Amino acid sequence: MKELKTDLLIIGAGPGGLGAALYAKRSGLEFIIVEKNMAGGQIIYTDLIENYPGFMDNPSGFDLAQKLVEHCKKFEIEIMEYISVEKIEEVNHKKGNKVYKFKCNCGDIEIHSRALIIATGATPNRLNVKGEAGLVGKGISFCATCDGALYRGKEVAVVGGGDTAIQEALFLSNLVNKIYIIHRRDELRACDMLQGRAKDNTKIEFMWSTVVEEFIGDKKLEALMARNKNDGTVRRLNVAAVFEYVGWQPNSAIVKQLVELDETGFIKTDNTMKTSKDGIFAIGDVRNTPFRQVITSVADGAVASMYVDKCFLE
């Protein structure tokens, strides 16, 4: 087994991990960054990004991710892609004047590090219905704040009935002509204040006790088929976009025995991105953050790397 030793291991090469890598490099830290898939994270599935500062040409998520990767390469940062961290153990192994606190098993590679930045992101729950997989990023989105402006003046649908679904529907009402809220129950789970605002909004039509059965479209979403659970009737909605809010699964399993998680499995951090375990930091979508945006993930990465440099490894 190949053994590597480093001051800092960054796990995940999405926007947060890449931002952390850039700041770690500028700080002169010895570090390794690994990614279980292709570098770029969830944004590679996003059609267009309109709200990342400095990119007025509205790049695709894939193109923006490649820009971030190229920026890292400019600083001679090597991203170890298709390397999956299978297990993290807390150890105390001293070599010279350094104490390595963590041992990370990555298949045939074992990485010892003094600190960890967990940038593994979160995975949105999907409806798992016909046509969905091929239209993610082509009309199916999980973030109205990210993608809503792409559908100005059009008709869209929101799937879900919790606080996030209703908040995002209200946000969309400032941009689009009509919103269908599709909810499998006959009442919302959102708080009373949000429910009241949504029910008073003339752009919103509720479809109660209804589930999506199919998405239709080739290169982009053209329509969806929705079935009423009570009477079995099926309705076609010719919408330009669907925003799914049926929960997220944080990719926090590899550290769940080491750090404190919230009730939904997201990693708890303070404002320096430090977790409950000394030496472990969490950034981006995997932490319990109120916003899951590219810009906030990158900022998290910068904060974490600066804190590692200034407060932990001195």
Amino acid (one-letter) located at 288? N
Catalytic residue among 47, 104, 146, 285: 146
Torsion of CA 295, 300, 306, 312, to 10 degrees: -170
CA-CA distance, 282 to 252, in Å (whole number)?
A: 10
191 tagged catalytic: no
143 catalytic? Reply is: yes
| List 143, 285, 300, 309, catalytic entry | 143
Question: Which element (helix H / strand E) includes 186?
Answer: none
Q: How many CA atoms lie within 13 A of 291 on its CB side?
A: 10
Bridge partners of 123, per DSSP, are: 249
Closest CA to 111 of 8, 17, 29, 252: 8
> Can you list the positions of beta strands (E) in 147-286?
155-159, 178-182, 204-207, 210-217, 221-228, 234-237, 241-244, 248-250, 280-282
- Known catalytic membership, residue 146: yes
Q: Could you give the CA distance from residue 78 to residue 66 in angstroms, rounded to a whole number? A: 14
**Active-site annotation holder among 72, 104, 106, 147:** 147
Given a contact cutoff of 8 angstroms between Cβ atoms, the answer to whether 257 and 250 are in contact is no
**Residues catalogued as catalytic:** 143, 146-147
